[in-house]
Chains A and B, each alone.
Chain A
């Protein structure tokens, strides 16, 4: 005789979907009901965003209907979460219904907030959602000379390597068009090097120098001045542009702040090894919704989902899962067409980049297929 418990997962992006599907493999349906609440309708494979503006892949393979990505035995409810009450243990959705839970996994991700940088909206371009990436493709096709500035508008973004990946592809794109000598590519970065991981930064910087990329380090975007076509940093530097490509600032979801789970940033503080929220051993947070000191990327969410699915499944089965999440993350990052580097890191292990390879590029180029056929299904 089983006493069925309920795992309620908020969010139908990478973290929530992978967690639900992995958990279904690990638990008996009579032991655990798995309910996912999300309202994205379409599931977009975000890493493809750096390649789409250059027409390097067919964007249609980067998008699937969310409802088709859940394994049998996972209940998927398309609705918007409007309140999370961790003391009374229930969640309310926009349609008015409320759901109780035995285990709550918050995987609500984060959102782009261009309004946080004065002058950004209507002026800066980006590639951080499908619509923006496709629009940027048209803008680049019309660009024939001048200064392009590329960077990030806030210190924390999804996928920290994306700006340097995009910069390498930008260089390749204009060389292929035969107009690279008419274009200055400026790369800005918040730290005093071109990437957060020192050894990777040395590797990337060397390639930047070989390819004539102009770098502006310790550049934290403060304002954009559309009238004078200048982007200003809080450190007091200004860079002129003809085209400005800036990853927008991010914040956690509004429902997180409204529910008192986080401050204005919207990112939730969680135990970095157990992934639970505060004193609540039945509330977990994974993916971009967390304030963890790890990369905000589907690759990190994948590892976190793997850890959490085993943790919850063990508890459901009456056992104690003693392993810790150790901040592990692995990804492929592009350094040009037909070349990429792989990064593998954790809380205690810094990533290194020693060589670029075509094989890593192929892994990156095909990663949407790998993701949709195996990873998101909880198989990998």
Chain B
């Protein structure tokens, strides 16, 4: 799926503990436009749970969560 949707913006937060991958995602989200597809790379396992939870609560669209080589990729579409 991620191969089919080309991200408008990639946030590489691998190796980030402070401020942290989800904080990087929210920062990138606030700078993005409605309709943008944002891809987050994180090497922190907790992001697999944290990011989809935030995407759901914020009313945006989770396109997918993908295990990559040594990191996880989370793709969302900004809808509001």
Contact = CB atoms under 8 A, between A and B. Distances in A.
A339 interface: no
A220 B54 CA distance: 10
Interface residues of A, number: 31
Interface string A232-243: 001110000000
A198 B46 contact: yes
A265 B27 CA distance: 10
Contacts of B16: 293-294, 327, 347
Question: A-side binding surface: helix, strand, loop or mixed?
Answer: loop
Interface in A334-380: 345-351
B52 to A, nearest CB: 11
Nearest to B49: A192
Contact of A294 (B18, B27, B50): B18
Contacts, number: 79
B65 interface: no
Interface in B32-46: 46
Contacts of A329: 18
A11 interface: no
A235 B46 CA distance: 20
B66 interface: no
Contact of B59 (A190, A236, A272): A236
A264 interface: yes
B17 A351 contact: yes
A295 B19 contact: yes
Interface in A146-197: 154-156, 160, 190-192, 196-197
Given A160-B18, A190-B26, A293-B18, 13 more contacts: A155-B27, A160-B19, A191-B20, A192-B22, A192-B50, A192-B54, A196-B20, A196-B23, A197-B20, A265-B31, A295-B19, A329-B18, A347-B15
